[in-house]
Amino acid sequence: MAYLWLKAIHVSAAVIWISGLLISALTLATTALGGNRPVTKERTAIVAAMRRWDRSVTAPAMILVWAVGLALATMGDWFPQRWLLIKLGVVLALSMLHGLLSGSLRKAAIGQGKRGANLGYAPWLVVLAMSTIVILVVLKPF
C-alpha cells in the first residue's frame, strides 16, 4: 500500500512540475523575452505572478519528484536497470532546464529578460522529455 501511495504522489508531483515548466517557458516566450516590445505593467505583473508560482509550486513539486522517485527506485531495486538510468538523465536535464527558466524569470522580473538565453525551444524540450520518460516507464525497453 505504501508503494501505491508513493507512486501516486510521484506522478501527481511530476504532472505539477511539468505543467509549471511549460507555463514558465510559455510565459517567458510571450511576455518577458518578447522581442523589442516595451515593458508594460501587465507584462511585469504576469512575470511576477509566474515567478511566485514557480517558487511556491513548481520548485517544490520538482523536489518531491526527486525525493519520492528515488525512494521508489530504491524500493523496487531498479537502479541497475538501463531504462531507469536513462530516465534519471532526462529528469536531470529537465531539472537543469527548470533552473534556466527560473533564472530567466528572475531576470525578467528585474527588467533584464531581453538579454537572457534564448529559451524559445524550452516548451518543445519539456514535451519531448516528458514523452521520453513516459515511454521509458511504461515500456521499460532496456
Tally of structural domains, the chain: 1
- Please, what's the b/e burial string for 85-112 (b: 16 or more CB within 10 A of its CB; e: otherwise)? eebbebbeebeebbebbbebbbbbbeee
Q: Within a 13 Å sphere around the CA of 41, how many CA atoms are in the beta-carbon half?
A: 0
Predicted confidence (pLDDT) per residue in 111-126, tens digit: 765 544 577 889 999 9
| Tens digits of residue pLDDT in 69-101 | 999 999 999 999 999 999 999 999 999 999 999
The pTM of the full predicted model, rounded to 2 decimals, is 0.88
- Reading the block at residue 34, the C-alpha cell is 518578447
124: nearest Cα among 50, 21, 2, 14: 21
Domain of residue 102: give its range. Answer: 2-139
